[in-house]
Amino acid sequence: MLEFEAINLEKQQTYLQHLGKCLQISSDYSFLNLWGWAEEYGLGWAWQDRLVWIKQTWPEDLYWAPVGAWETVDWNASLDKILSRPAVFTRVPEKLVECWETRLGNRLTISDERGNWDYLYSVPELVELKGNRFHKKKNLLNQFKKKYAYQYLPLGPQMIENALAMQTDWCTWRDCESFEILASENRAIAKILGQWPNLTGQLGGAVLVEKTLVAYTVAERLTHDIVLIHFEKGGPEYKGVYQAINQMFLASLKNEFAIVNREQDLDDEGLRKAKLSYNPTGFLRKYRVRIS
């Protein structure tokens, strides 16, 4: 049986080595996501058979996809060794499902998890905002630039206190404590920003207006050509501020990445509409899998 322990900073580098061996990397398995949201989902990890096994305990007990070199694993033997009963895995990336279908056959029951699909976008498209598809976004960006004396800066250690202060103001405006998902997100943001110098692969940007921080983004290097956006917050009184932080952050990366992953919509209708409005070029599909 697997022995799960708390997800910790001490094994960050070892985990990232395992993650780099996966055939496909979805947003859920970035270290910032796992560690940042660990308390919110009751996440733990176990290390066995050259894999990192992940399990959540809230709001229900579920396994997540194991992390490592999937194609080298004897899945029948490995699963038989650790599972005493049928198990349900959530957030399983498409490439692992394909691998399991080949190796495990009729032991699988697979169902789609549309709310957990990652949204993928072209970085050049979101920087340039060309054409009718992006007309509204470009218009709001231009309005912001014309109206405010703004400055864009990387989200370095010197900006963390300002970002935390803005997050507090944002949560007061949105009444985060009345909504569990916003309260959980606020705790995850505070945790990640509070340990910023001790993390690996973290990226971010901030927009200031007259020396006041009005927007910030927290991101992470997911692969050599994919950047992952975790959080993006803007002051509600600044029209076009979200278009500004989105475009300016990606432009600051100077063509280092081809794709931006903006995570999932969790079946939230408003969030789905907002993510679709940026014209995704594709999705990273994920599934729920029951293994008998």
pTM of this structure: 0.96
Please report whether residue 286 resides in a domain: no
Q: Are residues 64 and 126 in the same domain?
A: no
Q: Which residue has the higher pLDDT, 289 or 49?
A: 289
Q: Are residues 259 and 125 in the same domain?
A: yes
Q: Are residues 126 and 142 in the same domain?
A: yes
Q: Are residues 105 and 128 in the same domain?
A: no
Q: Tell me what pLDDT residue 83 has.
A: 87
Which of 62, 87, 117 terminates a domain? The answer is 117
Q: Is the pLDDT of residue 56 over 90?
A: yes
Confidence band for 66, pLDDT divided at 50, 70 and 90 = very high
Please report whether residue 273 resides in a domain: no
Q: Are residues 183 and 111 in the same domain?
A: no
Please report whether residue 105 resides in a domain: yes
Which of 117, 139, 157 terminates a domain? The answer is 117
Q: Tell me what pLDDT residue 84 has.
A: 83
Mean of the per-residue pLDDT values of the chain:
97
Q: What CATH number is given to the structural domain containing 46?
A: 3.40.630.30
Q: Are residues 195 and 219 in the same domain?
A: yes
Q: Which residue has the higher pLDDT, 219 or 158?
A: 219
Q: Is the pLDDT of residue 49 over 90?
A: no
Confidence band for 274, pLDDT divided at 50, 70 and 90 = very high
Q: Are residues 33 and 159 in the same domain?
A: no
Q: Point out which residues pair with 291 in neighbouring strands.
A: 87, 108
Q: Are residues 51 and 10 in the same domain?
A: yes
Q: Are residues 239 and 197 in the same domain?
A: yes
Q: Are residues 12 and 106 in the same domain?
A: yes
Q: Which domain holds residue 174?
A: 119-263
Q: Point out which residues pair with 226 in neighbouring strands.
A: 259
Please report whether residue 290 resides in a domain: no
Please report whether residue 149 resides in a domain: yes
Residue 290, Ramachandran bin (φ over 0: left; ψ between -120 and 50: alpha; else beta): beta
Which of 117, 132, 149 terminates a domain? The answer is 117
Residue of 238, 68, 234 lying closest to 149 (CA atoms): 238
Q: Are residues 64 and 128 in the same domain?
A: no
Residue range 165-170: average pLDDT?
Answer: 96
- Are the C-beta atoms of 180 and 58 separated by less than 8 Å? no
Please report whether residue 270 resides in a domain: no
Q: Are residues 71 and 138 in the same domain?
A: no
Q: Tell me what pLDDT residue 159 has.
A: 94
Q: In what order do the strands lie in the sheet with 282-284?
A: 150-154, 202-209, 212-221, 226-234, 259-261, 118-122, 282-284
Among 62-66, 81-85, 189-193, 255-259, the range scoring the smallest mean pLDDT is 81-85
Residue range 49-66: average pLDDT?
Answer: 96
Confidence band for 213, pLDDT divided at 50, 70 and 90 = very high
Please report whether residue 141 resides in a domain: yes
Number of domains in the chain: 2
Distance from C-alpha of 94 to C-alpha of 284, rounded to nearest angstrom: 7
C-beta pairs of 33-39 under 8 Å, 24+ apart in sequence:
33/230, 34/7, 35/7, 35/8, 35/9, 35/191, 36/188, 36/189, 36/191, 36/192, 36/230, 37/184, 37/188, 38/6, 38/7, 39/187, 39/191
Please report whether residue 155 resides in a domain: yes
